[in-house]
Amino acid sequence: MKIPEILLVESQHKPGSLAKILQVISEFGLLVENLDAVRRDQDKTVWEITLEMDEDAYVNVGEKISALPNARLLGRSDRVFTRHQGGKIKTVSKLPIDNLQMLRDIYTPGVARVCLAIKDNPELANQYTARQQTVAIVTNGTAVLGLGDIGPVAGLPVMEGKAALLARLADLSGVPILLNEKDPEKIIEAVAAIAPSFGAIQLEDIRAPECFRIEAALRERLDIPVLHDDQHGTAVVSLAALLSATRRVGRRLRDSVVGQIGLGAAGIGISRLLMAYGVRDVIGADLNPNARAMLESMGGRTAELPDLMKQADIVVATTGVKGLIKPEMVREGQLILALSNPDPEIEPTTALAHGAAFAADGKSINNVLGFPGLFKGALDAGATEINDAMLFAAAETLALIAPESELVPDALNLEVHKAVAEAVAFAARHGSAQFDDEPPEDDTDAGEE
């Protein structure tokens, strides 16, 4: 697992000082993820240097830097933990409660009128409460990131992160819900019981195969959108990246052979969405026979990893196994998305060096591009579900607005999430015709299929 090591280093403010520090880092074979000048005092500069290193191959680069005549290690910054101090989210009032009349209006006695109005017409809750802008982020902590079953409380920082992103990128309120429960039936009952508080349900970091049963049951039972982000959010962004990549290399996605390595929640979600989109040949590899059987029941086929790599034009990996794809397995011209975080199945630079036409990892192809706009669009449209037309609309929008040099757009660009939300809302109301995925140079008959 890769970890950030953040050093605070003081150097002399003269030519070559920083270069010598970076040379030491280079000698250890480490990558500089970020470099900031924290302050400058006359003849000295304090740098914050973020390094990326393997946890199991940790080296104390700080000692070597301190040995330089022009530098001094001041300490290690724990910026990540500092930013989590006290949590990342809070609930605030939208109204200034600064006089007695306001108190009476929003609380007793005035609030009783609104309660009675909603009692007579429950639909008014969408207008006079925050429910239609509030998403429950539900986890039992059984499949958190690439960390596995670490429990719901240990998964809370992820849920808070999701809530913060919903607030920032889609102006929605996300509420983390932690369930100390692994029985799928009890989880279904618990979520159904709290559902009246929310406009939508985001299932998060729940392990396969239980996640499939939980999502299917809740989608059938509830009249609000339910989305398992590990399946559908990841699938949307993966589809967007593949639409961009195939067009750039002059291929047609629907005619490509796609190999999906890893058939957990993300892998099954990606495979299902690709087949629904019209990809005719999806091959899956997984050690779990039940996972392979699930893909086959959906219309895909299975193979061992070496055979999959030989047959696939496009490879998507979601296994959580660092270095699973060996460089010699890469075929000339393949498109490879190694999406496991924090460590991919193969580094993009390695895949490209061994002949891949395109390669990317989960740092750039991240489901944060999908779920904010999906929920915002669904809630704005008053949708009761998030269907394939809405997922296609999100993916196609991301592909269309991606910069020429990137597979997907910038995840922090608010206009991107606004565009996704608008496309999703339109699809929710009217359905969505898929655009044709012909390469640009052959796109003389572009339109609906």
CB 152 within 8 A of CB 139: yes
Catalytic status, residue 277: no
Closest CA to 327 of 302, 356, 305, 304: 356
Question: Measured between alpha carbons, how far is 48 from 8 in angstroms, rounded to an integer?
Answer: 5
In the residue annotation, 107 being an active-site residue is answered as yes
Q: Which of 2, 44, 64, 162 is catalytic?
A: 162
How many other CB atoms are there within 10 angstroms of residue 78's CB atom?
12
Q: Which residues contact 98 (CB under 8 A, 6 or more apart)?
A: none
- DSSP, collapsed to helix, strand or coil, labels residue 100 as helix
* C-alpha pair distances (Å), 263 with each of 210, 279, 308, 392: 13, 17, 13, 21
Name residues whose C-beta falls within 8 Å of residue 305's C-beta, 6 or more positions apart in sequence.
261, 285, 324, 329
Report how far residue 238's alpha carbon sits from residue 358's, in angstroms, rounded to the nearest whole number.
Answer: 13
| In 192-288, beta strands by DSSP E | 200-203, 226-228, 257-261, 281-285
Of the candidates 5, 29, 148, 140, the one whose C-alpha atom is nearest the C-alpha of residue 77 is 5
Is there a contact between 194 and 248 (Cβ–Cβ < 8 Å)? Answer: no
By the 8 A CB rule, do 335 and 312 touch? no
Beta strands in 277-389 (DSSP E): 281-285, 301-302, 314-317, 335-338, 358-361
CA distance 242 to 249: 11
Bridge-based pairing of strands 358-361 and 335-338 is parallel
- Edge-first strand order for the sheet with 335-338 is 301-302, 281-285, 257-261, 314-317, 335-338, 358-361
Q: Which residues touch 41 (CB under 8 Å, ≥6 apart)?
A: none
Using CA atoms, how far apart are residues 294 and 247, in angstroms rounded to an integer? 30
Among 14, 107, 119, 186, the one annotated catalytic: 107
Question: Which residue reads 């299917």 in tokens?
Answer: 216
Amino acid at 116: L
CA distances (Å), origin 202, targets 12, 192, 296, 359, 377: 51, 13, 27, 29, 14
Report the relative pairing of strands 134-139 and 173-178 from DSSP bridges.
parallel
Active site residues: 107, 162
